[in-house]
Structure 1
Amino acid sequence: MRLLMLAGILLFAQPQSLSGTLTITYHDHTIAKIHRSHFTYPFASLLDQEKYQLLINQLDRKVYQAPVDARINGQGAIVSGKTGHKLYRSVFQNKFYSYYFGQGTGKLRAPLIKVYPRVDAELLSQIRDQRIGQYVTFFNSGNKSRAHNIDLAAKALDSQVVFPNETFSFNKAVGMRTKKKGYLSAPIIVRGEFSEGVGGGICQVSSTLFNAVDRAGLKIVERYSHSRRVPYVPEGRDATVSWYGPDFRFQNTSNQPILIRAHKYGGSISFALYSSDMINVAPRKVPNASTHLPKEIKQENEVQHSSKP
Structure 2
Amino acid sequence: MTALILLCSIVIVGCQNQTTQGKASPAGDSERKTAKPKIIASYIQEREPGAVHIVDPNTSEIILTILPHELGYELDTELYRKEIELLAKKLARGTAGNPGYDRRMLLDRLDEQGRIVKGSPLILLKESDLVESIMAASAVGGTVELPIVVSESGYNPAEISLMNETVLASYTTYFNQTDANRNKNIELSAKAIHNVIVGNGDHFSFNTVVGPRDEASGYRPAPEIINGELVMGIGGGVCQTSSTLFNAVDQMPVTYVEWHHHSREIGYVPKGKDATVSYGGLDFRFRNTTGVPFLIKAIYGDSFLTIEIRTAEKYRETFAK
Report deviation, 1:167: 1.1
The SS at the match of 1:256 is coil
Residue 164 in 1 paired to residue 173 in 2? no
Q: Is 2:243–2:274's contact at 8 Å kept on the other side of the alignment?
A: yes
The SS at the match of 2:222 is coil
Residue 153 in 1 paired to residue 192 in 2? no
The SS at the match of 1:147 is helix
Q: Structure 1's 172 and 250: CA in aligned 2 closer, same or farther, altered over 3 A?
A: same
Task: Determine the structure 2 residue equivalent to 1:197.
Answer: 233
Q: Structure 1's 164 and 217: CA in aligned 2 closer, same or farther, altered over 3 A?
A: same
What does the per-residue CA deviation read over 1:170-197, in whole Å, with 9 as the maximum and x for residues that have no partner?
000000101001000014789x751520
1:161-240 map, 5 Å: 161-187=197-223, 193-194=229-230, 196-240=232-276
| Rounded Cα–Cα distance in structure 2 between residues aligned with 1:264 and 1:182 | 17
Higher relative contact order (CA 8 A, sep 6+): 1
What does the per-residue CA deviation read over 1:93-116, in whole Å, with 9 as the maximum and x for residues that have no partner?
xxxxxxxxxxxxxxxxxxxxxxx9
**One-letter amino acid of the counterpart of residue 258, structure 1:** F
TM-score by length of 1: 0.53
Q: Is 1:69–1:119's contact at 8 Å kept on the other side of the alignment?
A: no
**One-letter amino acid of the counterpart of residue 80, structure 1:** R
| Rounded Cα–Cα distance in structure 2 between residues aligned with 1:207 and 1:82 | 25
**One-letter amino acid of the counterpart of residue 206, structure 2:** F
Task: Determine the structure 2 residue equivalent to 1:45.
Answer: none
Residue 258 in 1 paired to residue 294 in 2? yes
Q: Structure 1's 180 and 83: CA in aligned 2 closer, same or farther, altered over 3 A?
A: closer
Residue 80 in 1 paired to residue 130 in 2? no
What does the per-residue CA deviation read over 1:187-217, in whole Å, with 9 as the maximum and x for residues that have no partner?
4789x75152000000111000000000123
**One-letter amino acid of the counterpart of residue 207, structure 1:** S
The SS at the match of 1:156 is helix
The SS at the match of 1:273 is strand
Report deviation, 1:121: 7.1
Report deviation, 1:275: 1.3
Q: Is 1:70–1:121's contact at 8 Å kept on the other side of the alignment?
A: no
**One-letter amino acid of the counterpart of residue 181, structure 1:** S
Q: Structure 1's 238 and 189: CA in aligned 2 closer, same or farther, altered over 3 A?
A: closer
Deviation larger for 273-282 or 225-234: 273-282
**One-letter amino acid of the counterpart of residue 115, structure 2:** S
Q: Is 2:154–2:199's contact at 8 Å kept on the other side of the alignment?
A: no
Q: Structure 1's 118 and 166: CA in aligned 2 closer, same or farther, altered over 3 A?
A: closer
| Rounded Cα–Cα distance in structure 2 between residues aligned with 1:204 and 1:164 | 26
| Rounded Cα–Cα distance in structure 1 between residues aligned with 2:163 and 2:233 | 37
Q: Which has the larger Rg?
A: 2
Q: Structure 1's 143 and 124: CA in aligned 2 closer, same or farther, altered over 3 A?
A: same
- Among 264, 281, 301, the alignment partner of 1:245 is 281
The SS at the match of 2:232 is coil
Gaps of 5+ in 1: 1-48, 51-67, 85-115, 284-309
Q: Structure 1's 79 and 121: CA in aligned 2 closer, same or farther, altered over 3 A?
A: farther
What does the per-residue CA deviation read over 1:25-61, in whole Å, with 9 as the maximum and x for residues that have no partner?
xxxxxxxxxxxxxxxxxxxxxxxx99xxxxxxxxxxx
Q: Is 1:195–1:201's contact at 8 Å kept on the other side of the alignment?
A: no
| Rounded Cα–Cα distance in structure 2 between residues aligned with 1:83 and 1:265 | 28
Report deviation, 1:245: 1.6
Report deviation, 1:81: 3.8
Q: Is 2:299–2:307's contact at 8 Å kept on the other side of the alignment?
A: yes
Q: Structure 1's 236 and 258: CA in aligned 2 closer, same or farther, altered over 3 A?
A: same
What does the per-residue CA deviation read over 1:150-182, in whole Å, with 9 as the maximum and x for residues that have no partner?
000000000001111111000000001010010
